[in-house]
Chains A and B, each alone.
Chain A
Amino acid sequence: MTAAPPPTGAKDGKDARGERGARGAKDPGDAPPPGGCVPKRRGVEFSLLVGAVLISVLGYAEVGLARSGAVPPDAARYGAGLGFLSLLAHLAVRLRAPYADPLLLPIAVLLNGLGLVLIYRLDLETPGDRAAPTQLVWSTLGVGLFIAVVLLIRDHRVLQRYAYLSVAGALALMILPIFFPAVNGARIWIRIGGLSFQPGEFAKILLAVFFAAYLAANRTALAHAGRRIWRLQFPAGRVLGPIVAIWLLSVGVLVLERDLGTSLLFFGLFVIMLYVATGRTGWIAVGLLLASAGAFLVGSLEPHVHGRVQDWLDPYASIRAGDGPGQLAQSLFAFAAGGMQGTGLGLGHSVLIGFAAKSDFILATVGEELGLVGLSAFFLLYALLVARGYRAGLALRDAFGRLLAVGLASIVALQVFVIAGGVTGLIPLTGMAMPFLAQGGSSVVTNWVIVALLVRVSDSARTPRPDTADTGEIAPVTEDTR
């Protein structure tokens, strides 16, 4: 952006609201080649989906074989159910997003399918507390929402109109749980009847939508107004005011609710989107400064967080104190027990972690039973999902779409990093659900909506524009291309 003349940026910002055929935002690097016939790749998606379902069923069968020497009787039913849901999702994509990235849906199905296998496997250790059936219901709901989003939102730019509605909704969702009793030290649950969910999960998407819309509209002002201190350009308070206020509010709510994982996620999301929108390294500096100050304050004042930090610095302290291994130590034991190849599905003892083995610590089961090989495979699946999101962002022509794609992909990346880093002792542990894998209905549903939105933006990114396709004309380069 820095090299681009101001009018372009302004135009880009306004373009976001304009029609699809706007030529100004063309990026020759990622745009479909002129001349039409862009492959839709729905066949690729279909075969990948078949593979994803088969791998999930194989995992399910493997658990049964390892535990009782027989394939679970409902393995075929599980496969059929997962296959049916995938097929519906696939048809929805075929119908309304024919140019969507063919990797997104299969990755989501594979992660969700294997997540169900992992939870089913852990259910065998806790016969009194079965989580897989509930998770299956939530997954079905998630796929349903995926289909709904793909069918109903025909163009992602519609969302830009609801920026302020989104932020109001996000704040309402985050404030709501304060009026419900705390669960395990965090006020993030709403419990109605037997169902409980974390509204903060849905708030992620709404915030990303709001950030994308707001930044797309104001990025020129954010990037170029303001004063310069040393080599860093700081933005003017006028534009910064509202966004920081909203950010502070959300973080404040989260600290009150003691859900630090989500707090960290929002913070990271905010900084990344701000940077992508403005290209100002000053934002990174401000972000890091705010982060370290916040982390220090919260870490020293909040006993809950302080304990987590202590645990991270020395996971084995409780062993030396004679109290036995804590959760993090148990998690590390599980990863270590996996080694390179893992013990095999169903043969590990990650249940020793105890509380939250199926949710926050589900990755420990992956590590122990599938080994470093399996864990890396999961990481790469997530990386692929994130990369595809960024790729859609690169190929899109409107600023809002780009920021939305980057924001959604970053949500997934940050979630994975925060929780995977936490359970492997890389960073202090904060509660967060591993996308698609972990037990937790709101998380699964939210991640399905994220994937649905990514499918939508990737479809927009790859759809050949009729005007250029028809004329074969190469649009003038007006957006920065590097």
Chain B
Amino acid sequence: MIRYIRRAAGLSLLLLVALLVNAVRVMLVEADELDADPANRRIAISRWERPRGEILVDGRPVTGSRDSGQQLRWERTYPQGPLYAPVTGYASQTYGTSLLENAEDELLSGADPMLAPLPLWNDVTRGRNPGGDVVTTIRARMQEAAFRGLAGRRGAVVAIQPWSGRILALVSSPSYDPGVLSGTGREVKRSWQHLTTSPDQPMLARAIRQTYPPGSTFKIVTAAAALDAGVVTDVDAPTDTPDPFVLPGTRRVLPNEAKGCADASLADAVRWSCNTVMAGLGVKVGLEKMVEAAGNFGFNDPGLRVPSWVARSNFDTDMSPDQLALSSIGQFNTAATPLQMALVAAAVANNGEIPRPHLIERTTTAGGTTLTTTVRRTYRRAMTPSTATRLQDLMVRAVTEGTGTNAAIPGARVGGKTGTAQHGPDNTGTPYAWFIAWAQAADSAQPAVAVAVVVEDAEANRTDISGGGDAAPIARAVMEEGLRGEAEGR
């Protein structure tokens, strides 16, 4: 009987080995695959088991976390949701993340290996790090001024510091409260449904994700190209353009909203926003040089990140002369994000150089130790410094005595350019009102702020050379806050 007992014991041993081998299969061999299975809630649980790091504006968090007591424990809160939604985006347990919450997710969620003080030791203890913080470049008062200015109308405002590329305000309107998407459940689903189907597209970060025909504000680009290419050498000399202007190769006549544009100088054309002059100059500069100039301002760049991804602004590269003429005044297929047009203003203000725009000043651990600092880098060289100086002058004149008088700030040097972008079939849609500008305090060596404002549903008188009416006051309010901030900062 002993032999059979031994065999029975051998069978038990076999069963034990089978269990161990199978355990190795599940726990080691297939583990990575199982851990990464989307149906495995552990991924979400560990992601939300700590409060996320905060996004800071002016040193104060504009985000928060709430202990939901649920399985996914910490939910994101946004005390001033709609105001900062275009900056922060949402961090939802149901729908993922967007914008800064998305771009800096690793850091905010605590997964970033940089957060571990001793990486190897962390692997051993399996300690989890609290999420790091993101310090933004946004100035709360400018953001608020822009948000107030848009007052719920569809549109966007971008303000940047011309010499550094810091994005000081990034506003999109109408906005939404990202907090309603934070958690899980039916309420969140309903909110999502509502937000994504609303005709107002509140979740669209218009400032960086929506492109608009830039209209007359694009004339700054054309003017820079004409000056750099030597097509215009004296800004006050007549440009030899007829009014009305017949688009080359067609019988279509390009009208002017302004008067006195026949044969006007570049200075007057910028001041009064003459379509004819600028269209003619664009054709004279030529397709190749115009494409190059637009590219030097950042057009046609599909990969810009601030670090949220920025939609590509478009200037067509293959056009007939009449299309080129229309494109040179910001029509046809030309399209730009508000951020792109703020960069145009910044290029002029910063003597032709565009610093890389960025939203993040630095990132820190939860304890405040700096992890990364955004270093100032050149993004594009848009024009020569002398061209920039001349354009500054033209833009200042447009504000002091042209279409942009609504943007004038007493005691400060302000340059601006209005724009009215027509769209829709046969231009029957409500025109978009544009205004781009920069401002320099009288006692400052350099402009403190460049701004671009677009108001979609401008209730503008179509004949009025708009922008100045709807958009310029918003730009002024934002720039005033910018100048005040600069004065206080010194």
B-contacting residues of A (Cβ < 8 Å)?
1, 12, 27, 29, 272, 275-277, 279, 316, 319, 324-325, 329, 332-333, 335-341, 343-344, 349, 352, 367, 371-372, 375-376, 379, 382-383, 386-387, 390, 393-394, 399, 402, 406, 409-410, 413, 416-417, 420-421, 424-426, 479-482
Contact = CB atoms under 8 A, between A and B. Distances in A.
Nearest to A399: B1
Nearest to B10: A390
Contact of B1 (A329, A341, A413, A479): A479
A7 B462 CA distance: 120
A480 B11 CA distance: 20
A379 B27 contact: no
Given A325-B39, A333-B40, A406 B34 contact: no
B4 interface: yes
Interface of B: 1-9, 11-13, 15-16, 18-20, 22-24, 26-28, 30-35, 37, 39-42, 45, 126
B9 A336 contact: no
Given A277-B1, A324-B39, A482-B2, A390 B12 contact: yes
Given A325-B40, A336-B31, A375 B23 contact: yes
B26 A390 contact: no
Contacts of A367: 23, 26-27
Contacts of B41: 349, 352
Contact of B34 (A332, A386, A410): A332
Nearest to A338: B27
A314 B217 CA distance: 62
A67 B12 CA distance: 37
A382 B23 CA distance: 15
Contacts of A410: 8, 12
Contacts of B39: 316, 319, 324-325, 329
27 contacts: A29-B2, A272-B8, A276-B7, A276-B8, A316-B37, A316-B39, A325-B40, A329-B39, A332-B26, A332-B30, A336-B34, A337-B34, A337-B42, A339-B28, A352-B42, A372-B28, A375-B23, A375-B27, A379-B19, A383-B12, A386-B9, A387-B9, A394-B6, A406-B5, A410-B12, A413-B12, A417-B18
Nearest to A1: B1
Given A333-B40, A421-B19, A393 B4 contact: no
Contacts of B3: 1, 279, 480, 482
Contacts of B35: 333, 336-337
Contacts of A417: 15-16, 18-19
Contacts of B22: 421, 424-426
Contacts of A382: 16
Contacts of B11: 272
Q: Which of B7, B20, B27, B35 has most A Cβ within 10 Å?
A: B27
A29 B39 CA distance: 56
A336 B19 contact: no
* Top 9 A-B residue pairs of the complex, sorted by shortest distance between their CB atoms: A336-B34, A336-B31, A426-B22, A413-B12, A390-B9, A319-B39, A276-B4, A417-B15, A335-B26
A416 B23 CA distance: 13
A40 B75 CA distance: 62
Contact of A424 (B4, B5, B19, B126): B19
Contacts of A349: 41-42, 45
A325 B11 CA distance: 34
Interface of chain B, main secondary structure: helix
Contacts of A29: 2
A379 B17 CA distance: 10
A335 to B, nearest CB: 5
A349 B41 CA distance: 9
Nearest to B21: A426
A345 to B, nearest CB: 13
Contacts of A379: 16, 19-20, 23
B23 to A, nearest CB: 6
A371 B22 CA distance: 14
Contact of B42 (A333, A393, A424): A333
Given A379-B19, A383-B12, A276 B1 contact: yes
Given A324-B39, A336-B34, A337-B42, A344 B126 contact: yes
Contact of B4 (A275, A421, A425): A275
B34 A333 contact: yes
Most central of A333, A352, A399 by chain B CB within 10 Å: A333
Nearest to A273: B8
Contacts of B40: 325, 333, 337
Nearest to A380: B16
A482 B7 CA distance: 11
A387 B5 CA distance: 11
A141 B34 CA distance: 40
B70 to A, nearest CB: 13
A326 to B, nearest CB: 10
A372 B24 contact: yes
Nearest to A351: B71
Contacts of A393: 5
B162 to A, nearest CB: 51
Contacts of B2: 27, 29, 394, 479-482
A376 B26 contact: no
B121 to A, nearest CB: 14
A104 to B, nearest CB: 16
A375 B21 CA distance: 12
A470 B461 CA distance: 124
Nearest to B38: A319
Contact of B27 (A371, A420, A481): A371
Contacts of B20: 376, 379
Contacts of B31: 335-337, 339
A405 to B, nearest CB: 8
Contacts of A352: 41-42
B26 A424 contact: yes
B24 to A, nearest CB: 7
Nearest to A390: B9
B2 to A, nearest CB: 6
Nearest to B13: A383
A479 B19 CA distance: 34
Given A272-B8, A337-B35, A413 B15 contact: yes
A383 B9 contact: no
B220 to A, nearest CB: 54
